[in-house]
């Protein structure tokens, strides 16, 4: 029941609150409009080719697009192997002060500026990966196309994927932990009630939480797509599209980071870059919505 005073209150809040809508609309409109030029001129060619020659007016961002997707997939796999155990440890094994400390460390990691991750990754993680993981894998499995090229500097799709993966671990962990808190105590007690060991009851919890875990990974994927600084310093900045994970490559954000500043010198270059981020944006927003709504639906289903 809205009285006149309630309506006035509502209206007084509206202008500043609607700034969020204005910003969103402005952002999407700008990206869409600026992409128009290159989309009309080059059309689907942009998506199919990976030749990048601004001076000759030849553009194709297939390589960075695939690079973004591949690094994000690697990131999510990394996050899966690291976040899930971490969540289980925090939720089921730790208590008291230790739990507080570990949770705080995860929180700390989560808000850390990504540039710090980027510096650490480019100076320490990548050389480590090159020597202890990439080269051995290459030496043993070089018949598999994924590992067929010899890592020279270590900067590659693989290194970038792992680096980004490490940076999204806190984010994914937080989402899964929150989902775990939502599971009613009744279910957990039921597990112990039927004589399950800790491992078995955790397995049951995990299967219960599976939609939420998948959603967390989808949200992590969306987050990785947009990651710029870590990608720019670890991916190797090469437009060469290869099936080998250890070769240097590009992601859309890394491409933009290195090319946008000079893009105004070449016709269509800016527009092409806008088009490339438009794709990433659309995928990212769609996946974010899908991920969040999955969690919301899951939560309403499991509440007793």
Partner 1 sequence: MYSWRKIREKLFTFTIILLSLLAIAPIIHMIIVVSINGIVTFVKAGTSFFTGLPPTPLSQEIGGIAPSIIGTLLMTAISLPITITLAIFAAILATEFPKNPISVAIDAIAKSLASIPTIAVSMIVYTVVVVPMKGFSALAGALALTIVALPYAYTYFSTALRSVPAVYREAALSVAMSRWGTVIRVLIPIARNGIAIGVLMTMARIMGETAALLFTAGRFRNRVSITPSKPVDAVPLLIFDYILSPYDIWHQVAWGATAFLLLAYIAIFFAVKLIVKEVKL
Partner 2 sequence: MFAVEMNNVSVYLRGRQILKEVTLKVPYNTVFVIMGPSGSGKTTMLRVINRLIDITEGARVVGSVNVLGFDVMNYDPYELRKHIGMVFQIPNPFPHLTIYENVAIAAKINGVVKNKKELNDVVRWALEKAMLWDEVKSRLHEYPHQLSGGQKQRLCLARALAMKPKLLLLDEPTANIDPVNARKLENAIVSLKDEVTVVMVTHSPYQAARVADYVAVLYDGMIVEQGPTQQLFLRPTTDIAQKLLRGEM
31 makes contact, choosing from partner 1, partner 2, none, with CB < 5 to 8 Å by partner type, with: partner 1
- At closest approach, how far in Å is the CB of 271 from partner 1? 11
Binding mask 34-73 for partner 1 (x = CB under 8 A): x---------------------------------------
What is the rounded CA–CA span in Å between residue 176 and residue 173? 5
Which of 29-37, 38-46, 152-160, 186-194 is the region at the interface with partner 1 (rule: CB under 8 A)? 29-37
Closest CA to 165 of 225, 215, 241: 225
What is the rounded CA–CA span in Å between residue 33 and residue 238? 28
- At closest approach, how far in Å is the CB of 142 from partner 1? 26
4 binds partner 2 (CB under 8 A): yes
Closest CA to 219 of 168, 158, 267, 274: 168
| Rg of the chain (C-alpha set) | 23
Which of 3-11, 15-23, 136-144, 153-161 is the region at the interface with partner 2 (rule: CB under 8 A)? 3-11
58 by DSSP, 3-state: which?
strand
Binding mask 5-34 for partner 2 (x = CB under 8 A): x-----------------------------
Binding mask 261-300 for partner 1 (x = CB under 8 A): x-----------xx--x--xx--xx-xxx--x--------
Alpha carbons within 13 angstroms on the beta-carbon side of residue 155 total: 18
Alpha carbons within 13 angstroms on the beta-carbon side of residue 111 total: 5
């Amino acid at each position: 029941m809205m009285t006149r005073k309630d309506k006035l209150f509502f209206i007084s809040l509206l202008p500043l609150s609607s700034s969020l809508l204005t910003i969103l609309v402005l952002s999407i409109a700008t990206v869409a409009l600026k992409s128009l030029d290159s989309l009309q001129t080059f059309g689907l060619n942009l998506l199919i080719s990976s030749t990048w020659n601004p001076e000759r007016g030849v553009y194709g961002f297939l390589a960075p697009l695939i690079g973004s997707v591949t690094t994000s997939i690697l990131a999510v796999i990394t996050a899966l192997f690291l976040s899930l155990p971490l969540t289980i440890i925090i939720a089921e094994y730790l208590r008291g002060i230790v739990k507080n400390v570990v949770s705080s460390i995860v929180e700390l990691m989560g808000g850390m500026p990504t540039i710090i991750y980027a510096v650490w990754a480019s100076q320490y993680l990548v050389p480590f990966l090159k020597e202890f993981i990439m080269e051995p894998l290459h030496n043993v499995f070089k018949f598999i196309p994924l590992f067929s090229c010899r890592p020279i500097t270590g900067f590659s799709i693989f290194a970038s994927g792992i680096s980004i993966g490490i940076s999204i671990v806190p984010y994914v962990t937080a989402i899964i932990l929150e989902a775990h808190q939502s599971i009613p105590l009744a279910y957990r007690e039921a597990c112990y009630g039927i004589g399950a060991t800790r491992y078995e009851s955790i397995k049951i919890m995990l299967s219960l939480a599976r939609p939420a875990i998948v959603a967390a990974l989808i949200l992590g994927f969306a987050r990785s797509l947009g990651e710029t600084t870590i990608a720019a310093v670890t991916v190797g900045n090469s437009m060469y599209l290869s099936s080998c994970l250890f070769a240097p490559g590009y992601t859309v954000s890394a491409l933009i980071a290195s090319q946008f500043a000079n893009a105004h010198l070449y016709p269509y270059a800016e527009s092409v870059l806008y088009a490339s981020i438009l794709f990433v944006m659309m995928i990212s927003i769609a996946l974010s919505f899908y991920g969040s709504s999955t969690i919301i639906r899951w939560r309403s289903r499991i509440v007793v």
